């Protein structure tokens, strides 16, 4: 595909009217509908997007997104348990020891093997597999060890 490229994640679009943010807005509408397969996967989708688009994000937000993806896709923890624990992290209720420090800052731009453009139109049948690919590619690009299959 040739055309406009995202300055943060490297996704390339054929039209200047298309962008990572416009696609993410469409995905958020699906996530917030609470329908499956999107609703239960909102945390992973949000985290992958934020980590691939760090500009203007707080260090705390980036670290929480990193922790969520790492704990789900590398250590194999239950996504709901991880999301619940992260909401309570301000109280010191979550053990952060199995997660290495995040090696990026909000100004970092990287190239990712899989970006939001690779998720297409978020079709229900393919979405779980494509989301997993997106999350794993994000982790790999940020230096995480090979994620569990």
The pLDDT value recorded for residue 96 is 61
| CB-CB neighbours of 11 under 10 Å | 23
Residues in the chain: 149
- Evaluate whether residue 94 is within a structural domain: yes
User: CA 56 from chain center: how many Å?
Assistant: 16
In this structure, are residues 110 and 9 in contact, taking their beta carbons and an 8 Å threshold?
yes
**Full residue range of the structural domain in which residue 43 is found:** 4-141
Residue by residue, pLDDT tens for the chain (149 residues) are 456 889 999 999 988 889 999 999 999 999 888 889 998 899 999 999 999 999 999 988 999 999 999 999 999 989 888 888 877 765 555 566 678 888 876 566 678 999 999 999 999 999 999 999 999 999 998 888 765 55
**Domain-embedded: residue 123:** yes
What pLDDT, on the 0 to 100 scale, is given for residue 119? Answer: 96
d(CA 78, CA 90): 20
Q: Does residue 147 lie in a domain region?
A: no
Residue by residue, what is the 3-state secondary structure of 89-148? HHHCCCCCCCCCCCCCCCCCCCCCCCCHHHHCCCCCCCHHHHHHHHHHHHHHHCCCCCCC
Decide if 146 is inside a domain.
Answer: no
Rounded to the nearest 10 degrees, the angle between the axes of helix 42-52 and helix 79-87 is 70
Q: How far apart are the first and last CA of the chain?
A: 29
Considering the domain boundaries, does residue 149 fall inside one? Answer: no
- Domains identified in the chain, total number: 1
DSSP classification of residue 37: T
- Strand (E) positions, 20-103? none
Residue 10 belongs to a domain: yes
In a domain, 148, yes or no: no
């Amino acid at each position: 595909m040739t055309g406009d490229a995202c300055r943060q994640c490297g996704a390339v679009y054929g039209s200047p009217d298309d962008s990572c943010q416009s696609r993410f807005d469409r995905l958020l509408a699906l996530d917030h509908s609470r329908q499956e397969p999107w609703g239960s996967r909102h945390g992973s989708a949000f985290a992958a997007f934020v980590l691939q688009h760090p500009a203007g994000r707080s260090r705390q937000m980036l670290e929480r997104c990193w922790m969520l993806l790492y704990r789900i896709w590398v250590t194999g923890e239950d996504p709901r348990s991880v999301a619940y624990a992260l909401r309570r992290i301000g109280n010191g209720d979550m053990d952060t020891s199995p997660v290495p420090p995040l090696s990026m800052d909000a100004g970092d731009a990287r190239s990712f093997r899989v970006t939001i453009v690779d998720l297409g139109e978020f079709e229900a049948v393919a979405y779980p597999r494509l989301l997993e690919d997106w999350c794993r590619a994000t982790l790999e690009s940020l230096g995480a060890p090979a994620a569990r299959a």
